[in-house]
């Protein structure tokens, strides 16, 4: 086996390269973002991010960062979103630590050449797919889980051998600041710089050339990111959002179903991209659903969520106003209370909401849970299909047939039956959207593959040249006949190997029997 | 008109017609019949478009298509089936799998150099994945485009797979519509426009672009064979192949022998007068002919160099000692001109390649494993073939696509199916075992978090290599013991029986 393993190989610096030229000529006019990207690119080109040892070392450092600076991270998230230390651990850092562990454990496997099925024509050749780093990746994070959604793509980027420019969201300003200050103490400063800033800094970053852009956020900005990427033919991964529907079958155990939905909805004060956005159920169970949710809210957040430490806040005034305005025209069944000075909105349930209501026009991203009544699963499916493909779809039903029907007749990034959010924790499942909810996917090996170039490699030898005669001009019908045979005949190597093994065993058995029966 | 075709395709898709596996297989088999029944007409159209020889058509376009269709038909059930994934302790009693689903209506924009293969091969994957597809063949290969427009509706569902012909303005109109995936084969300039148009609808794209595919010849290699393979790959379709070896890199000491090798091979392939060889093609149109002739300006051809504008004929041409700043080295040639650029050694060659955009293909000719290993480790490209050219295209288990300026996404075989599918993560839980889930609900505390940590991080099945080797060894030993035991039993049975 040729064993193409990416080794440490420092490529000699070109004495007169374009990069140095441009830097010396327009040094004074280069923006900060441009310089950072250039440095990252130069660092990548030295080849230092390629060796597996280096990647594992950086990942382990990242793990240390999370464990050693647990307090700093928790404080930052608390200031940003009013989350407790335990919440932060549960929803942000636990997932990160898990991803790092998986990456460190499996990296050699992921980065190794992947042999593929051969044809008769290539039976004597080496044929495999070699994962390679792409180069410099841009990661634009979001504010709702400022650590999880910014660092998880970074794990994939490091594992795949890339350099990565990390741009945390300025909206979660405390987390962004902590990330900028502390990350460079644990990770290579040039390969993985953190760039903070607002809209104009992000736009300046997007003008630079990257080898992949990973964006988490909303569809509007997602389109702008993809347009900017198109100018450099840069591939993108867009983790967007949408209105994730949650269908409750009338025959389901409402107590458990509502508890799981309540949990999924009000975690982080509804500011989760895969939170169940709205409920679809039959009118006959609507009141019971409301009652069960009311009970759960009491159980989780006491009768005064405002003073309870595990209930979060809206990130800022702008979003507070936005979410409050969505209440317009809808009937409040639970909650509806708010306190602008604290950006507090109580856990709220709206009933008898229609498709045309204001709250149904955009992704809520807040603690308002509308219930839309439908006559049955048919109408529910129709309702869902009339709208954009969501990031997640939730179905609560004891009936497997119904669940399978919903899977077959709808589309969404992911589907979870009888629970909310938890598919995020199954790292073997690809996490991503479809249509308006995004493109591309990550988590575990999916992230590694997304940020790698999977290069097709065919290693042949210069002998057996006569076999090639059938493809060379001057062409004849006879040559074509041979070409057809070789190109179209599929060889099932696995079956051949199994048959050969079986033949070997039979021969061995026959030999033993023959010998000992004398 | 374009808008209506897309609208009809979407309505047909929403009606659910394209989803059942039997329907997809039936459509694919129909497509196969079209290729077999109409081979003659297709060959004639290609001859008129690009002077393709009668054998090159099946060899380069149709056999590949047949291969893809038969693979899709035989494996479709497997590809479309749910793919279970590894679970953790928290999801131990649940079903976790990836379900491949159709995306919806896809747009396939074909190219003119292999108008059938490059337009229909993506269509095979699109149909297999259960989508509707609007097919837009390249207007530059006009005979093939009009033949496709006439034939496809007679074999495939007319509403689900409409063919839209036209030029730039029709293509722009198509790109204004909303699709669920856009598959484009062509050049980087238009590729950027396609991606920008797709961005407006957040439509994912596959861009099969091009570039200058370098071909490095090591000095210690068997030049006779190397040159023959390179010559074949370069001058097939008159150099108009996206993965043709664009230029050669070699040391000055072997340059003349390389030229001789190519010259001899050309004689073997096309005879002393390639213009009269039935196997030698023509340039697609006057514009490209002029473009190529301009590239040659100022350089004397070592081999070939003749041309005939009336026939859009350019002889197989080799130019040696080409400087890196020559026009020939500034853009993808896409024609029968083969520049040789000399480099001092492999380091120089690697620098040369890395200073330029990532190519669609990289070719290395060497019998030295170290050289090959270095070349592959220190450069990047869409794909690589070592000691041959183009052949990685023919193996459909290898993903075919570019990187950087040479493109994004990949296809061939199952990769096409995957590219045109949405891989939906499905987690089907039950409402039982609620006590286990209590740990995640508020109020939160230290113990709860610890329990969740444990449950989330334990993986159920150990897929590591060590365990695998252990399992295989144990199985072999166990089987061996079983065989031995059986044999001993037979012997003792034989001993107790006096019939021995």
The chain B residue lying nearest A516, using CA atoms, is B491
How many Cβ atoms from other residues are within 10 Å of residue A18's Cβ? 9
Nearest CA in chain B to A501: B476
Contact by Cβ (8 Å): B31, B155? yes
Do A357 and A363 contact (CB within 8 A), yes or no? no
- A274's CB contacts (< 8 A; 6+ apart) are A244, A391, A392, A414, A420, A421, A423, A424
Which residues of chain A does B268 touch, with a Cβ-Cβ cutoff of 8 Å? 472
Judged on CB neighbours under 10 Å (0-12, 13-18, 19+), B425 is buried
Q: Taking CB atoms and an 8 Å limit, are A415 and B426 in contact across chains?
A: yes
Give pLDDT, residue B66: 92
* Interface contact A429, partner B, CB < 8 A: yes
Residue with structure tokens 């001899």? B264
Q: Per residue of chain B (500 residues), what is the pLDDT tens digit? A: 889 999 999 999 999 999 999 999 999 999 999 999 999 999 999 999 988 887 877 778 898 899 999 999 999 999 999 999 988 777 778 899 999 999 999 999 999 999 999 999 999 999 999 999 999 999 999 999 999 999 999 999 999 999 999 999 999 999 999 999 999 999 999 999 999 999 999 999 999 999 999 999 999 999 999 999 999 999 999 999 999 999 999 999 999 999 999 999 999 999 999 999 989 999 999 999 999 999 999 999 999 999 999 999 999 999 999 999 999 999 999 999 999 999 999 999 999 999 999 999 999 999 999 999 999 999 999 999 999 999 999 999 999 999 999 999 999 999 999 999 999 999 999 888 787 777 778 777 777 777 777 766 655 555 556 677 888 888 888 998 999 999 888 888 877 665 54
CA distance A308 to A303: 9
How many inter-chain contacts (A to B, CB under 8 Å) are there?
A: 330
Helix residue spans in A349-461 (DSSP H): 377-386, 400-409, 444-450
Q: Which residues pair with A457 in a beta bridge?
A: A128, B384
CA distance A134 to B358: 10
Matching residue, tokens 């300006």: B297
Residue of A473, A489, A490, A511 to mutate, interface with B, max B Cβ within 10 Å = A473
Over residues A237-270, the pLDDT tens digits come to: 999 999 999 999 999 999 999 999 999 999 999 9
Which residues in chain B (118-147) have CB-CB distances under 8 A to chain A? none
Peptide bond into A474 cis (omega under 30): yes
Q: Which of A235, A236, A234 is closest to A216 using CA atoms? A: A236
B461 touches chain A (CB under 8 A): no
Nearest CA in chain A to B487: A513
Partner-chain contact B392 A457, CB within 8 Å = yes
Interface of B with A in 313-342 (CB under 8 A): none
φ/ψ (deg, to 5) at A466? -60, -30
Of B50, B70, B6, residue with least CA distance to B145: B50
From the list A246, A258, A269, A273, the catalytic residue is A273
Identify the CA nearest to B206 among candidates B132, B118, B294, B81: B118
Spell out the per-residue pLDDT of chain A, length 518, in tens. Answer: 333 333 333 333 333 344 444 554 445 578 999 999 999 999 999 999 999 999 999 999 999 999 999 999 999 999 998 888 888 888 889 999 999 999 999 999 999 999 999 888 888 899 999 999 999 999 999 999 999 999 999 999 999 999 999 999 999 999 999 999 999 999 999 999 999 999 999 999 999 999 999 999 999 999 999 999 999 999 999 999 999 999 999 999 999 999 999 999 999 999 999 999 999 999 999 999 999 999 999 999 988 989 888 888 999 999 999 999 999 999 999 999 999 999 999 999 999 999 999 999 999 999 999 999 999 999 999 999 999 999 999 999 999 999 999 999 999 999 999 999 999 989 899 999 999 999 999 999 999 999 999 999 999 998 888 888 888 888 888 888 887 777 776 666 667 778 888 888 888 888 888 887 76
Which among A126, A125, A133, A130 is positioned nearest to A113, based on CA atoms?
A130
Interface of A with B in 47-106 (CB under 8 A): 47, 84, 86-87, 89-90, 94-95, 97-98, 101, 105-106
- Do strands B361-365 and B383-386 pair parallel, antiparallel, or not at all (unpaired)? parallel
Residues 157-196 of chain B with CB under 8 A from chain A are 180, 188, 191-192, 195-196
pLDDT value for A8 = 36
Q: What share of chain A is helix, strand, coil (3-state, %, to 5)?
A: 50, 15, 35
Which among B395, B441, B463 has CB closest to A300?
B441
Q: Of A223, A259, A513, which has the smallest distance from its Cβ to B200's Cβ? A: A223
Catalytic center residues of B: 208, 242
* SS3 at position B423: strand
Give me the residues of B, 100-119, that contact A with CB < 8 A. 101, 103-104
CB contact under 8 Å between A233 and B404, yes or no, is yes
- CB within 8 A of A218, min separation 6: which ones? A240, A241, A363
Residues in chain A: 518
**Best CA proximity match to A384, nearest among A437, A317, A447:** A437
Nearest CA in chain B to A452: B403
Q: What is the DSSP letter of B499?
A: T
CB A159 within 8 A of CB A132: no
**The tokens of A475 are what?**
């062409």
Q: Computed from CA positions of residues A482, A483, A485, A490, in that sequence, does the dihedral angle turn out positive or negative?
A: positive
Query: What is the β-pairing status of strands A452-459 and A126-133?
Result: antiparallel
CB contacts, 8 Å: A425 with chain B: 88, 90, 456
Distance in angstroms (rounded) separating the CA atoms of residues B488 and A346: 78
Distance CA A13, CA A487 (A): 44
Q: Hey, CA dihedral for B383, B387, B390, B394, is it positive or negative?
A: negative
Neighbours of A281 (CB within 10 A): 24
User: Beta-carbon neighbour count of residue A361 at 10 Å?
Assistant: 11
Residue A454 has its nearest CB partner, among B399, B423, B431, at: B399
Nearest to B163 by CA among B184, B181, B138: B138
User: Does the CB of B3 have a partner CB in chain A at under 8 Å?
Assistant: no
The answer, for A223 touching chain B at a CB cutoff of 8 Å, is yes
Question: Which of A2, A116, A418 minimises the CB distance to B397?
Answer: A116
Name the minimum distance, in Å, from the CA of A444 to any CA of chain B.
11
With beta carbons less than 8 A apart as the criterion, state whether B129 and B417 touch: yes
Please state, in angstroms and rounded to a whole number, the distance separating the CA atoms of residues A126 and B250: 24
Question: Which residue shows structure tokens 């990949």?
Answer: B410
pLDDT tens digits, one per residue of B259-304: 999 999 999 999 999 999 989 999 999 999 999 999 999 999 999 9
Q: How far is B418 from chain A (nearest CA, A)?
A: 12
Say whether residue A472 is in contact with chain B using an 8 A CB cutoff: yes
Q: Under DSSP, is residue B500 helix (H, G, I), strand (E, B) or coil?
A: coil
Q: How far is A422 from chain B (nearest CA, A)?
A: 8
Residues of chain B with Cβ-Cβ distance to A430 below 8 Å are: 98, 423, 425
In a mutational test of the B interface, the residue from A1, A85, A89, A455 whose CB has the highest number of chain B CBs within 10 Å is A455
CB atoms under 10 Å from CB of B326, counted, come to 17
Pairing between β-strand A245-248 and β-strand A392-396 as defined by DSSP bridges: parallel
As a dihedral over the C-alpha atoms of residue B28, residue B29, residue B32, residue B37, rounded to 10 degrees, the angle is -140
Helical residues (DSSP H) of B298-433, grouped into ranges: 346-354, 369-378, 414-419
Q: Using CA atoms of B245, B247, B249, B254 in order, give the dihedral in degrees to the nearest 10.
A: 90
Q: Would you state the pLDDT for residue A20?
A: 45
Query: What whole-number distance in Å separates Cα of residue A484 and Cα of residue A487?
Result: 5
B285-295: b (≥16 Cβ within 10 Å) or e: beebbeebeeb
Of B88, B436, B90, which is closest to residue A444 (Cα–Cα)? Answer: B88
Q: Which residues contact A277 (CB under 8 A, 6 or more apart)?
A: A242, A243, A244, A245, A246, A363, A364, A390
Q: Are A125 and A116 in contact (CB under 8 A)?
A: no
Angstrom distance (rounded) from CA A425 to CA A511:
54
Whether B272 contacts chain A with CB within 8 A: no
* Cross-chain Cβ contact B445/A86 below 8 Å: yes
**Vertex B83 angle, CA A260 and A280, to 5°:** 30
> Does the structure's ipTM exceed the value 0.85?
yes
CA angle (A9, A10, A12) in 5-degree steps: 130
Neighboring chain A residues of B430 at a CB cutoff of 8 Å: 398, 418
What pLDDT score was predicted for residue A482?
81
Of B202, B226, B351, the CB nearest to A14: B351
Of A17, A226, A263, the CB nearest to B441: A263
On whether any CB of chain A is under 8 Å from the CB of B430, the answer is yes
Q: Name, in order, each residue with C-beta under 8 angstroms of A64's C-beta and a sequence gap of 6 or more.
A: A186
Contacts of A505 in chain B (CB under 8 A): 479, 483
């Amino acid at each position: 086996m040729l064993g193409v393993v990416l080794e440490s190989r420092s490529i000699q610096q070109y004495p007169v390269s374009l990069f140095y030229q441009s830097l010396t000529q327009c040094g004074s006019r280069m923006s900060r973002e441009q310089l950072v990207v250039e440095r990252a690119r130069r660092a990548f080109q030295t080849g230092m991010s390629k060796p597996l040892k280096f990647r594992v070392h950086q990942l382990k450092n990242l793990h240390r960062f999370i464990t050693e600076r647990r307090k700093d991270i928790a404080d930052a998230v608390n200031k940003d979103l009013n989350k407790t230390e335990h919440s932060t651990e549960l929803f942000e850092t636990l997932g990160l630590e898990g991803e790092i562990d998986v990456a460190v454990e499996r990296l050699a496997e992921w980065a190794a050449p992947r042999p593929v099925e051969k044809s008769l024509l290539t039976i004597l050749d080496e044929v495999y797919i070699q994962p390679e780093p792409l180069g410099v990746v841009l990661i634009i994070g979001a504010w709702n889980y400022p650590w999880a959604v910014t660092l998880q793509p970074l794990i994939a980027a490091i594992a795949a051998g890339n350099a990565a420019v990390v741009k945390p969201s300025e909206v979660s300003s405390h987390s962004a600041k902590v990330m900028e200050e502390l990350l460079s103490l644990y990770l290579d400063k040039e390969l993985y710089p953190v760039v903070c800033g607002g809209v104009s800094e992000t736009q300046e970053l997007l003008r630079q050339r990257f080898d992949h852009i990973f964006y988490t956020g909303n569809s509007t900005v997602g389109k702008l990111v993809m347009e900017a990427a198109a100018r450099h033919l840069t591939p993108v991964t867009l983790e967007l959002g949408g209105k994730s529907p949650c269908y409750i079958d009338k025959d389901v155990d409402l107590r458990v179903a509502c508890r799981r939905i309540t949990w999924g909805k009000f975690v982080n004060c509804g500011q989760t991209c895969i939170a169940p956005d709205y409920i679809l159920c039959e009118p006959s169970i609507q009141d019971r659903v409301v009652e069960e949710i009311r009970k759960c809210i009491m159980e989780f957040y006491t009768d005064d969520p405002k003073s309870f430490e595990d209930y979060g806040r809206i990130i800022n005034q702008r979003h507070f106003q936005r979410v409050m305005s969505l209440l317009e025209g809808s009937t409040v069944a639970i909650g509806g209370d708010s306190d602008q000075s604290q950006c507090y909105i109580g856990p709220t349930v709206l009933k008898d909401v229609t498709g045309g209501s204001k709250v149904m026009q955009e992704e809520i991203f807040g603690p308002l849970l509308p219930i839309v009544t439908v006559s049955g699963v048919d109408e529910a499916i129709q309702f869902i299909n009339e709208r954009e493909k969501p990031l997640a779809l939730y179905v609560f039903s004891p009936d497997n047939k119904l669940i399978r029907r919903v899977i077959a007749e709808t589309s969404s990034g992911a589907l979870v039956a009888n629970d909310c959010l938890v598919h995020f924790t199954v790292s073997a499942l690809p996490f991503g959207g479809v249509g308006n909810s995004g493109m591309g996917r990550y988590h575990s090996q999916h992230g590694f593959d997304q940020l790698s170039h999977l290069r097709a490699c065919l290693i042949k030898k210069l002998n057996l040249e006569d076999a090639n005669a059938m493809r060379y001009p001057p062409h004849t019908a006879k040559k074509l006949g041979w070409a057809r045979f070789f190109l179209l005949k599929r060889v099932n190597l696995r079956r051949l190997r199994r048959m050969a093994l079986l033949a070997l065993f039979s021969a061995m058995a026959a030999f033993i029997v023959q010998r000992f029966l004398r | 008109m374009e808008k209506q075709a897309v609208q009809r395709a979407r309505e047909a898709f929403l009606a659910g017609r394209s989803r059942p596996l039997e329907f997809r297989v039936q459509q694919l088999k129909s497509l196969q019949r079209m290729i077999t029944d109409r081979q003659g007409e297709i060959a004639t159209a290609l001859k008129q478009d690009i002077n393709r020889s009668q054998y090159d058509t099946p060899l380069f376009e149709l056999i590949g298509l047949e291969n893809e269709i038969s693979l899709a038909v035989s494996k479709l059930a497997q590809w479309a089936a749910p793919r279970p994934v590894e679970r953790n302790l928290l999801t131990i009693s649940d079903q976790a799998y990836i379900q491949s689903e159709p995306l919806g209506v896809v747009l396939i924009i074909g190219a003119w150099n292999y108008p059938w293969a490059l337009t229909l091969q993506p269509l095979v994957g699109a149909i297999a994945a259960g989508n509707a597809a609007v097919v837009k063949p390249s207007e530059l290969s006009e005979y093939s485009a009009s033949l496709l427009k006439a034939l496809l509706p007679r074999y495939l569902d007319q509403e689900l797979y409409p063919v839209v012909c036209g030029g730039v303005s029709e293509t722009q109109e198509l790109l204004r519509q909303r699709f669920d995936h856009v598959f484009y084969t062509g050049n980087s300039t238009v590729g950027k426009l396609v991606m920008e148009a797709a961005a407006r609808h957040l439509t994912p794209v596959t861009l099969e672009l091009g570039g200058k595919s370098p071909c490095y010849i090591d000095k210690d290699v068997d030049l006779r064979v190397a040159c023959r393979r390179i010559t074949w790959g370069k001058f097939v379709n008159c150099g108009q192949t996206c993965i043709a070896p664009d230029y050669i890199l070699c040391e000055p000491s072997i340059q003349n022998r390389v030229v001789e090798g190519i010259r001899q091979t050309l004689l073997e392939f096309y005879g002393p007068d390639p213009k009269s060889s039935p196997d030698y093609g023509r340039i697609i149109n006057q514009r490209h002919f002029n473009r190529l002739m301009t590239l040659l300006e100022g350089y004397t051809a070592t081999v070939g160099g003749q041309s005939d504008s009336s026939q859009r004929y350019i002889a197989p041409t080799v130019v040696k000692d080409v400087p890196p700043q020559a026009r020939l080295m500034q853009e993808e040639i896409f024609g029968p001109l083969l520049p040789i650029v000399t480099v001092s050694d492999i380091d120089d060659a690697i620098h040369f390649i890395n200073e330029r955009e990532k190519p669609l293909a990289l070719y290395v000719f060497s019998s030295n494993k170290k050289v090959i290993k270095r070349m592959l480790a220190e450069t990047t490209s869409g794909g690589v073939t070592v000691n041959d050219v183009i052949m990685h295209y023919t193996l459909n288990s290898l993903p075919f696509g570019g990187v950087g300026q040479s493109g994004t996404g990949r296809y061939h075989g199952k990769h096409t199916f995957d590219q045109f599918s949405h891989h939906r993560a499905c987690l089907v839980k039950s409402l039982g075992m609620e006590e286990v889930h209590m740990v995640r609900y508020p109020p939160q505390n230290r113990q709860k978090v610890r329990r969740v940590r444990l449950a989330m991080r334990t993986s159920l099945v150990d897929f590591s290599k060590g365990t695998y080797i252990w399992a295989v060894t144990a199985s072999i030993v166990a089987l061996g013991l079983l065989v031995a035991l059986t044999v001993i039993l037979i012997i003792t049975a034989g001993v107790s029986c006096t019939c021995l």
